Amino acid sequence: MKTVKEVMTTHTATVTLLDNVYEVAVKMRDYDTGFVPVVDSNDGETLIGVITDRDLVLRGYADKHSGSTSVETVMSKEVITVSESASVDEAAELMASAQVRRLPVVQGKKLIGIVSLGDLAVKRIFADEAGEALSEISQRQLH
């Protein structure tokens, strides 16, 4: 059975609490992503939160915060993570139950990658489970 380590993306954009929401938006544009992990500025590896494009809109701009607003104002601090040794099936189930499309991959608290529904589907690994997870996420968000 394939593991998360075999399908995850390892080179991800990150930000720290020293960054602002404008810098996050630029990274999202430059890396063509809607998901940026927030890591500790002291070591650059310890995961402390994440920011999605939705976070920027709802907690940032919709609340009338400027581009110079701190990352901490808009980031999600309660983050669901997965281990690199988890199976891709376990990751898909976790995404479905948590209603998320991406999971930070960690060793302890150290960020080592990101796994997304796209990683599961594009690599043709458990495509049915990835599709099912996406379907469940989308259906729950509609209600």
- 3-state SS, residue 44: coil
| Each residue's pLDDT tens digit, 78-117 | 999 999 999 998 999 999 999 999 999 999 999 999 999 8
**pLDDT value at 129 more than 60:** no
CATH number for 112: 3.10.580.10
- Split at pLDDT 50, 70, 90, the class of 65 is confident
| Each residue's pLDDT tens digit, 28-57 | 999 999 999 999 999 989 999 999 999 999
Domains contained in the chain, number: 1
Per-residue burial over 74-103, b if 16 or more Cβ lie within 10 Å, else e, is bbeeebebbbbebbbbbbbbbbbeeebbbb
The whole-angstrom separation of Cα 27 and Cα 67 is 13
Which one, of 117, 44, 45, 37, lies nearest residue 79 by Cα?
37
The residue behind tokens 């259906």 is 139
Residue 117, classified by CB atoms within 10 Å of its CB into exposed (0-12), middle (13-18) or buried (19+), is buried
Cβ atoms of 105 and 82 within 8 Å: the answer is: yes
**What is the pLDDT at residue 138?**
58
Range of the domain at 11: 4-142
